[in-house]
Structure 1
């Protein structure tokens, strides 16, 4: 398993910016609604909803909005009939992109995603075009300043059921099988660790190293424009931009 890629660091930074974006609550609300529809409104018995609630609280979503979103999913309140759709495509320099959408209008979403790929130097592909390059994994990011003894921490993580743990750039990336994600996260939380990020995600098997500044700017422009689309929940990619190039873009 490769280390924590730079595009993931970009995603974390963008996550901090998201708190200032007007559509943050919309994205959080959609996840709450979908999770409740899929597994019921009791977070104690619905791991996906439990994580969605934690993220909503971390994003300072008001309690009444949070509860309404859940009730829309359970059918207690009238809500929108959302669909989850996955798009796949290629960006500049052969980078691969997976775009997860939650929408009430499939045609609108497809048009927006296709247009963004086209305008930003990419190509929308067919189902399965790039998914084979990624693995679905649980990922938990913990800052290294919480860890006093790295060897002891690594043993603790592996005993909790994690598949792998990687230390890089001042943080630990804990990787799990998706089915073990919640139990590992609970074990670490109970042990007193606070996570920076925790989600079931798509991790690339191999990364595309982008060292040309002009291409890096194009790749990031595609990533950020896709992520800003109203219907888009998550964007995954396999690009790896060195820190010295990123610093020139920031």
Structure 2
């Protein structure tokens, strides 16, 4: 199956929005530091840390930054306690959002997230209100290459424990969350330059056409991405392709 990968589009677009790389690295470092603090500094025995490191590498975070974040976690967090929270919300035109946060002040983060949705035509929902519209999956991508035999890659990925593979703008391999790291590492061992993360994938996408709603969606995502406590934003908006092209 070939075509345009909405997942790749979303990540590409987000990468363009996040111009300030320092902010991205700060969020990634926080996730690594907290994972280290909670489960130790050995990725092979700490799945949360291994996943955080893989995400950091996928976002081109330097190894020195990763090592520094792990050392910070080993040294403690100055008495701070961080909580993992996922907010479910409605955006403009009935779009659905899953917002993953890592915060040392739940009241502050909840107030901020609620404010963003209220300001830009949506509202914060209750647990379960939109979660059923998403599937939790591991997503592994490999750049297209003439040196890769697509059928062979698919057979290898399935043998390694993947659920499926599609060929879009990239080779896109899906796994169950618990199989993500195993499949990713086996693909790397097989010589592929693979990267990925565990994500909420929408079961269906919503097309939005109104100019005001489009602007509000853009501003809402920008505001969420700019918040230090927000780690990831997932939604089911079918973003126009021209937003990804300069």
Residues in 2 aligned to 1:187 and 1:7: alpha-carbon distance in whole angstroms: 22
Contact 1:5–1:240 (8 Å) recurs in 2: no
Contact 2:90–2:96 (8 Å) recurs in 1: yes
Match of 1:201 in 2: 199
The root-mean-square deviation of aligned C-alpha atoms, in Å, is 2.5
1:153 matches 2:153: yes
- Which SS does the other structure have where 1:239 is aligned? coil
Q: 1:198 to 1:7 in 2, by over 3 A?
A: closer
1:224 matches 2:222: yes
Shift of 1:18: 3.5
- Which SS does the other structure have where 1:108 is aligned? helix
1:113-170 CA-partner distances (Å, limit 9, x unpaired) = 01100111111111111111111111111111265321122111111110011111x2
Residues in 2 aligned to 1:190 and 1:69: alpha-carbon distance in whole angstroms: 26
TM-score normalized with structure 1 length: 0.86
Contact 2:138–2:174 (8 Å) recurs in 1: yes
Q: 1:139 to 1:79 in 2, by over 3 A?
A: farther
Structure 1 gaps, min length 5: none
Match of 1:37 in 2: 37
Match of 1:131 in 2: 131
Residues in 1 aligned to 2:62 and 2:149: alpha-carbon distance in whole angstroms: 35
1:46-65 CA-partner distances (Å, limit 9, x unpaired) = 232123234445634463x5
1:106 matches 2:112: no
Contact 1:146–1:193 (8 Å) recurs in 2: no
Q: 1:109 to 1:51 in 2, by over 3 A?
A: same
5 Å-filtered alignment, 1:62-211, equals 63=64, 66-74=66-74, 76=76, 78=78, 80-145=80-145, 148-168=148-168, 170-195=169-194, 197-211=195-209
Structure 2 gaps, min length 5: none
5 Å-filtered alignment, 1:228-243, equals 228-243=226-241
Shift of 1:101: 0.8
Residues in 1 aligned to 2:186 and 2:63: alpha-carbon distance in whole angstroms: 28
TM-score normalized with structure 2 length: 0.87
Match of 1:10 in 2: 10
Residues in 1 aligned to 2:40 and 2:144: alpha-carbon distance in whole angstroms: 36
